[in-house]
Amino acid sequence: MPACEYVYKEISFFRTFKQKEIAWISIVAYHLMNWYSQNKYCGKCGSKTIEKPDERAIICPDCNTTVFPKISPAIIVAIVSNNKILLAHNSSFKENWFSLIAGYADIGESLEETVIREVKEEVGLDVKNIRYYKSQPWPFSGSMMIGFFAEADERQTIVPDNKEITSAAWFNRGELPNHPPDISIAGEMIDKFEKKEI
């Protein structure tokens, strides 16, 4: 029987892994691994924590502080104008790779307000007709991605923030640049635009 061969891969490998179920299980495990490793000790009294036996939580046996898995709410928005979609290149992306505008909700901010703020901060555009699409847990960053579609006037000047976003542009159907596959909500929303389903 041939020996099994194991090859080290970065966790981002699962973003494009063809077997979606295996990819999803793997990135959820990654999220949990990070959460457990970041909560070995109580943030309130410093005691060593233990796993709570009756639910997915960590508890401090000394002060009873309970910690649940960290899930950060973040918006992701497909901005459209007539038959075009706005796609942006993030400073952390590989060359010639584009996606949607996304960002974390701030304390005291509604998700719709987050959409308006993030789009204005990252590309300088005003959006309207914000519509909820769906949500997706995103264990790579411990996030709950909440998807929206919105509209913008393409005559507005695009002003990338040059921190997170290095460039952004409007793209027509059939002429989209490299973008995430549909394992992610970003890829799914871009595909919906491409197929004229939005």
Query: 78: closest CA among 69, 70, 88?
Result: 88
Quick one: pLDDT at residue 1? 54
For residue 84, the surrounding DSSP H or E stretch is strand 84-90
Do residues 116 and 130 touch, judged by C-beta distance below 8 A? yes
Which domains are seen in the chain, by residue range?
Answer: 17-67 (no CATH), 72-194 (3.90.79.10)
The Cα-based distances of 48 to 40, 60, 67 in angstroms read: 6, 7, 13
- Kindly give, in sequence order, each residue whose CB lies less than 8 Å from that of residue 55, ignoring residues fewer than 6 positions away: none
Q: For the chain, what's the residue count?
A: 198
Q: What is the pTM of this model?
A: 0.82
Instruction: Give me the average pLDDT of each 10-residue run along the chain (198 residues).
Output: 72 74 85 93 97 96 95 97 96 93 96 98 98 92 95 98 97 96 92 94
Q: Phi and psi dihedrals of 113, rounded to 5? A: -65, -35
